[in-house]
Amino acid sequence: MKQENHQICDYEGSDYQETFWDSGERDYEDQVEEIALKRLLPADGSLMLEIGAGAGRNTPRYENFSQIVLLDYSLTQVQKAKQKLGESPRYIYVAGDVYNLPFVEGLFDAATMIRVIHHLVDPHKALTNIRAVLRSKAIFILEYANKHNLKAMLRYLLGKQKWNPYSAESVELVELNFNFHPRTIKKWLNSADFKLDRTLTVSHFRIGALKKIFPTGLLVWLDQFAQLTGNWWQLTPSVFTRNIAVGETPPPEKDRFFRCPVCKKDLDDPGQTILVCSHCQSKWAVRDGIYDFRQAID
Ligand SMILES: C[S@@+](CC[C@H](N)C(=O)[O-])C[C@H]1O[C@@H](n2cnc3c(N)ncnc32)[C@H](O)[C@@H]1O
């Protein structure tokens, strides 16, 4: 038995949070994403799964949830998130893979995956796995990079870009960086047992020249209104969707939380420094308050 193996865009050791977000250059994107998340998040909830949480940029935005599991494949990103948010029963830190989620089925009330699906070679598989760990009627907020955006259309028209922004297939712009067609995302969500409930288009003004000329506050102010057209058309580089988990998922047995990513059986007692699967004997480390499910230890 072994874990599913896919190529992963690994952020291990990356200074993504510092250079991309903390430098202030993406303040506009950060603020419009915050508005979109506020609009899509449920009013409250108990247990939220944040997939590809990175350094926890969005985590404080899930304030209405009692407990949040931050999962990311990169251990250093999870460590940064822990440094930022601190040790608290409110947060559970997990280094793990969306293709091999280490949780029992039907566990979470909600999940988010923001700026992650564009790194996945098998998005449909990931969506199916996410659905499995959500309870029936749970909310799943998914952000994706949209190939059907105005800039790509214009470049295609002028012959500056070979790939077709109107066609359904995904485009890999650079290695492990994909853009998707809204139609395709909808099809995948549907076949993974999600019902698309609401769409917001985000970052209408993500154009270098506009960001230089106009104050960020003005662009954010305009974007908040433009977002509301998302159910009708999607022409922005980033799209936020709220989805509802359809179909029946029985609730997990009481006190069950983690499951072995190798044999998929429930794990006992998450309060140890090493978790041992009583079925396949795989061992999983818990170091410095972070559960590490990427690779079993000897
Ligand atoms: C662009 S960052 C986004 C971080 C955060 N969601 C945000 O918006 O600030 C993408 C994150 O996805 C994580 N990631 C990529 N592939 C993954 C996988 N297969 N399983 C879990 N996390 C993954 C990366 O390690 C990285 O931290």
Give the binding-site residues of ligand 1, using a 6 Å CB cut-off.
8-9, 11, 16, 52-54, 57-58, 72-74, 77, 97-99, 114-116, 119
pLDDT at 272 exceeding the cut of 80: no
Greater confidence (180 vs 271) lies with 180
CA of 148 to the centre of ligand 1 (A): 22
pLDDT at 271 exceeding the cut of 90: no
Judging by DSSP bridges, how do beta strands 65-72 and 91-95 pair with one another?
A: parallel
* Average pLDDT of span 124-149: 98
Dist. CA 38–CA 41, nearest whole Å? 6
The dotted CATH code for 16-297 is 3.40.50.150
pLDDT at 298 exceeding the cut of 90: no
Q: 141 pLDDT band (50/70/90 cuts)?
A: very high
Q: 3 pLDDT band (50/70/90 cuts)?
A: confident
Check residue 103 and report its DSSP letter: B
- The packing angle between helices 216-226 and 27-40, to 10°, is 30
Mean pLDDT of the chain: 96
**pLDDT value, residue 2:** 75
For the question of whether the overall pTM of this predicted structure is more than 0.95, the answer is yes
pLDDT at 275 exceeding the cut of 80: yes
Q: Provide the CB-side half-sphere exposure for 175 (13 A, CA).
A: 4
Say if CB 284 and CB 266 are below 8 A apart. Answer: no
**pLDDT value, residue 5:** 87
Say if CB 69 and CB 112 are below 8 A apart. Answer: no
Dist. CA 284–CA 273, nearest whole Å? 9
